[in-house]
Amino acid sequence: MLNRRNFARLAGAAIIALSTALPSFAQDPIVIKFSHVVASDTPKGKGAEKFKELAEQYTDGKVRVEVYPNSQLYKDKEELEALQLGAVQMLAPSLAKFGPLGVQQFELFDLPMLFNGREDLRKITEGDVGRELLDMLEPKGITGLAYWDNGFKIMSANSPLVTPDDFLGLKMRIQSSKILEAQMQALGAVPQVMAFSEVYQALQTGVVDGTENPPSNMYTQRMNEVQSHATLSQHGYLGYAVIVNKAFWDGLPADVREGLDRAMTEATEYANGIAEDENDRALQAMMDAGTTEFHELTEEERAEWYETLRPVHEEMADRIGADLLQKVYDALGTTN
Ligand code: LMR
């Protein structure tokens, strides 16, 4: 019999049932886990935070972006596997780290002495070659959304690195790129692939002697505290492709995708707009810290580096594909 007490109990239960059911139908946000390996206070770290802010705003809270910096969730190689498995939805790996995915053409960005500054770089990232590379990710279950800048690399060690001879026999940490391996070998060094999260300790304990990175990465990982010398060689570039799990991305409601596309476009402008300054600031901070002696290459020294490093292009042309490499040269207006 439905007396007043029973009615109140039933009504209460119905309210609880409704209130627990509602969020999963109407209010639960779509979660995007964005994992990366660098500090929050870097061009990539700040770009990720900007994307979070804009994505949540432009989707009216239908999306929540959780940013996991500093290899908190996954290290380099693991994060790519996690993306393919759907354990995370978004990453921005360095362009040097796509080889293990089977898209080694991205390693063209690692070719030493290729770009003459950021304007050159844009001709690739914003041109046909950049698009072509992102399209190569689709069969891997990955969608490429954008290119984010970091900067041009400097070389560091615990001994001066003025001429190529100074690298002879040094163990140099590299990212997982065959082109970077060839680059270090051309210098007479012994390349050692290692996850980013392990570099500081490897430098500190002498497992490796030196490394290469843009100043922002070097400074935010405190590598300058364990490297007595660095050379402002700017011999190569380090940047990122922002990528998402394709099944996840394709399955998003159209209005949500639209908001996220807009957020990505603006976050990309932001990240690429701050990268140079962030690196300049990091370099200045390391100079002020005084633990590392920085060397600027003279014109003659740079010519010597060029002579030693440029042949890596020809040596590694097959890895990139001769046609693709020619497209790069054509876009840059270089002759070889
Ligand atoms: C490195 O491993 O040196 C870089 O790729 C780290 C990063 O993501 O900038």
Cβ atoms within 10 Å of 121's Cβ, excluding its own: 22
Beta carbon of 37 within 6 Å of any ligand 1 atom: yes
Token look-up 């870097």 returns 42
Which residue puts its alpha carbon closest to atom 1 of ligand 1? Answer: 196
Is the pLDDT confidence value at 159 over 70?
A: yes
Instruction: Compute the mean pLDDT over every residue in the chain, rounded to the nearest whole number.
Output: 93
Beta carbon of 38 within 6 Å of any ligand 1 atom: yes
Which residue puts its alpha carbon closest to atom 3 of ligand 1? Answer: 196
How many angstroms separate the alpha carbon of residue 96 from the centre of ligand 1? 8
**CA torsion, ordered 119, 125, 129, 131, to nearest 10 deg:** -150
pLDDT band for position 77 (50/70/90)? confident
Beta carbon of 94 within 6 Å of any ligand 1 atom: yes
Write out the DSSP string of 46-72: HHHHHHHHHHHHHTTTSEEEEEE-TTS
Residue 328 pLDDT? 98
pLDDT band for position 118 (50/70/90)? very high
Beta carbon of 42 within 6 Å of any ligand 1 atom: no
Is the pLDDT confidence value at 156 over 90?
A: yes
Q: Where are the beta strands (DSSP E) in the chain?
A: 30-35, 63-68, 90-91, 142-152, 154-157, 171-174, 190-193, 211-213, 229-231, 237-245, 293-295
Question: Which of 175, 223, 240, 242 has most ligand 1 atoms within 8 Å of CB, for mutation?
Answer: 175
Sorted by sequence, the CB contacts under 8 Å of residue 239 that are 6+ apart come out as: 94, 95, 109, 121, 125, 147, 148, 149, 150, 151
